[in-house]
Structure 1
């Protein structure tokens, strides 16, 4: 089978913290393993990393077609952009004529060109990984809004499969629910009960920028401290001075130096032991695509406390059996947590359920699902 992969995923080779993009590239590489020959359109960094992965496990002939990056200043780019887009579109169409399966990984950017061309590709087998939040109320640009309208049109998606992370699925049969595997070497197993003494540990790894609402996490800890709970919050994330300042000011203003701690990420990445030692994992984002960090926390028995955005409700479960969903309000969050904080057996039950559920994130299961999709 000849496969063409189109992706606009941005990946920096010097990233060592186990980013979501790195995990996604491992997943895309698994798709390529089922092809005798592959042609990849992507950025130089992304293609280089895919080549590095395939050197360890060859996937047959591997041809790289680097997409042009941004050029010149803004005025020059505006003039050149239409011609550049036309050139890219022609390259996509010509490559797809000679392939058996076209895989489009949409994460924004130039891969949108491939989606607009979807009904014009001559190949009979087309798969789109929509690496964005399909859920109601998700953030989207005007381009993504238009693409979603087109993908909901049966004529536009004929001979195509659209893979999304959110349930419930749109009524159109082209859509399928997909789970991205977790490629870190983590083995889900029944965890030992983590006692709430001498303290209850919360973990936050998302970031210190406003998108991850670190100050909201601090407000939650302040509320729990006021109510007498022995809690501590550990931030393990990157952040510049302007992002750290609001958090540091809040800690100092509320005298929470003993309860909230800021840690930097070491060069060799964040240790999994950090997750194993924590009781709760805070993921208070305003929007989410595929939350690798939640999957990682669940696999290590660290109970997620998250906002109900993107596909997070599916991971937590309809009956909240694998975590806690909450609106971004410290009073409500504290109230939702009390039922677990006051009941250690209930906490252990939920954490264990989360760990066992994470077995569905295994790469082996992911490869079986890829094979099923390719054979559909």
Structure 2
């Protein structure tokens, strides 16, 4: 079977080897394993640093195209005039292929989604790695891709693999997943003390989209209100230095640690030893930091983006009861203290007030005691009660200004947290790397059963 892979992800050449972004290579190796020959249409240049890995199958053919970029007038002009040439490259590659696989969203992927209309009889699959929520606010190019791929009149003989289950989708849209761990790594969920002290982790790029500063504020205010909780950051990015400064200013060096990029084994150990994984992202596709944490019974505290509500076991009817609308309007941004300017005077932008500050005068013990008293009153307040969903596998945050209140409420129910931890692991352990590869093999077997395996 001749497999064609079309992606905006670049393939580079290092030491006479074909390499690409490591997680991408890990998945592409599985697709290539079940083909007799593989051709890529993709860029071969990238001007930023990239964590790369060599492909297992180095005999693949690479058809290089220029990245289609429209960020500046000059790049837009160059890209516009290169579109006809790239369309011809795509048409010729599709003509020779038995199975066409697109990686969306992306500008090259959008052009490929248009060209594939000319090949209605070819078997095709699409991995849509972004947010497929039909109500999400997204760039026009993303909306075009989703619309085109969902159109069963224009796009035929295709399976579009998306993250999450969405209402009112056409028959060619299929819920899919991504996996990190093998079924042989499945273990019983570790017993945790859900009465505290608590350990939390943040795993991901320390950039604005992942909201690591808001994670810091969440932990700071929880501690200010008497919650014994610590936080470990794993990852690097432009906001790391800002967070280091804020941690020092707040006097929380003993409770918040920044580890930078580390090996996967270290992150896995952190998940096993932590109570919560914090991810307050603005946008996601399949959030690995959520799925990986759940695999080990570490409860996600995550924002309502992409397929996260589905992952955490929320139905649409519950979203207004146990969680709130996550907004990025100006007033909310100011309330959250999103400005990166470091000020001398500490603020508590998540809204529960200044209950503890290591730099303030007076006894830390007295401050913590008052914070615990306020928190206990909130736990005993009947208005804080909620109806637990037996399918719930995490804490969904859809109003960032009330994140502290939401998390504090759950901390008053250790039995529920234990149930959520077990439910999270049970759900996530369905999606192993072994099952992921089996699904890929089945998708390709439909194209050419006699040639679907390479030894």
User: For this structure pair, what is the TM-score category when the shorter chain's length is used for normalisation?
Assistant: 0.7 to 0.9
Task: Answer yes or no: is 1:321 the counterpart of 2:387.
Answer: no
1:129–1:162: 8 Å Cα contact kept in structure 2?
yes
Q: In structure 2, list runs of 5 or more residues that go unmatched.
A: 15-19, 315-388, 447-455
**Partner SS for 2:126:** strand
1:96–1:122: 8 Å Cα contact kept in structure 2?
no
1:102–1:127: 8 Å Cα contact kept in structure 2?
yes
**Partner SS for 1:117:** helix
2:27 and 2:120 map into 1 onto residues whose CA distance is 25
How many residues are treated as equivalent by the alignment?
A: 361
Report which stretch shifted further, 333-342 or 262-271. Answer: 262-271
Gap change, CA 1:309 and 1:276, over 3 Å in 2: same
TM-score (normalised: structure 2): 0.71
2:427 and 2:24 map into 1 onto residues whose CA distance is 20
Q: 1:365 aligns with which of 435, 451, 454?
A: 435
Aligned match of 1:64: 62
Task: Answer yes or no: is 1:374 the counterpart of 2:444.
Answer: yes
Task: Answer yes or no: is 1:286 the counterpart of 2:356.
Answer: no
Per-residue CA shift, 1:259-294, capped at 9, x if unaligned? 323232247885422222211000100111111222
2:73 and 2:411 map into 1 onto residues whose CA distance is 57
Gap change, CA 1:329 and 1:114, over 3 Å in 2: same
1:7–1:105: 8 Å Cα contact kept in structure 2?
yes
Aligned match of 1:23: 23
Aligned match of 1:350: 420
2:73 and 2:397 map into 1 onto residues whose CA distance is 45
Gap change, CA 1:323 and 1:186, over 3 Å in 2: farther
Aligned match of 1:224: 222
Task: Answer yes or no: is 1:134 the counterpart of 2:137.
Answer: no
Report which stretch shifted further, 262-271 or 332-341. Answer: 262-271
1:139 and 1:44 map into 2 onto residues whose CA distance is 31
Q: Which has the larger radius of gyration?
A: 2
**Partner SS for 2:189:** coil
1:269 and 1:323 map into 2 onto residues whose CA distance is 23
Aligned match of 1:161: 159
Q: Where do 1:165-180 residues align within 5 Å?
A: 165-180=163-178
Gap change, CA 1:49 and 1:238, over 3 Å in 2: closer
Q: How far off its partner does 1:347 sit?
A: 2.2
Gap change, CA 1:13 and 1:120, over 3 Å in 2: same
Gap change, CA 1:168 and 1:90, over 3 Å in 2: same
Q: How far off its partner does 1:74 sit?
A: 6.3
2:68–2:108: 8 Å Cα contact kept in structure 1?
no
Aligned match of 1:53: 56
2:186 and 2:220 map into 1 onto residues whose CA distance is 32
Aligned match of 1:146: 144
1:190 and 1:339 map into 2 onto residues whose CA distance is 27
Gap change, CA 1:301 and 1:186, over 3 Å in 2: farther
Q: How far off its partner does 1:93 sit?
A: 0.8
1:205–1:236: 8 Å Cα contact kept in structure 2?
yes
Report which stretch shifted further, 265-274 or 290-299. Answer: 265-274
1:204 and 1:285 map into 2 onto residues whose CA distance is 11
1:138 and 1:281 map into 2 onto residues whose CA distance is 24
Per-residue CA shift, 1:68-103, capped at 9, x if unaligned? 3579x9676444423422111111111111221111
2:234–2:267: 8 Å Cα contact kept in structure 1?
no
Q: 1:305 aligns with which of 291, 301, 312?
A: 301
| Root mean square deviation of aligned Cα | 3.2
TM-score (normalised: structure 1): 0.84
Q: How far off its partner does 1:204 sit?
A: 0.9
Q: How far off its partner does 1:31 sit?
A: 1.9
2:121–2:156: 8 Å Cα contact kept in structure 1?
no
Q: How far off its partner does 1:167 sit?
A: 1.4
2:72 and 2:397 map into 1 onto residues whose CA distance is 42
Gap change, CA 1:284 and 1:12, over 3 Å in 2: farther
Gap change, CA 1:213 and 1:268, over 3 Å in 2: closer
1:189–1:355: 8 Å Cα contact kept in structure 2?
no
Report which stretch shifted further, 312-321 or 302-311. Answer: 312-321
1:97–1:123: 8 Å Cα contact kept in structure 2?
no
Aligned match of 2:7: 7
2:10–2:44: 8 Å Cα contact kept in structure 1?
no
Q: How far off its partner does 1:114 sit?
A: 0.4
2:25 and 2:306 map into 1 onto residues whose CA distance is 21
2:103–2:109: 8 Å Cα contact kept in structure 1?
yes
Q: How far off its partner does 1:139 sit?
A: 4.4
Gap change, CA 1:106 and 1:222, over 3 Å in 2: same
1:13–1:45: 8 Å Cα contact kept in structure 2?
no
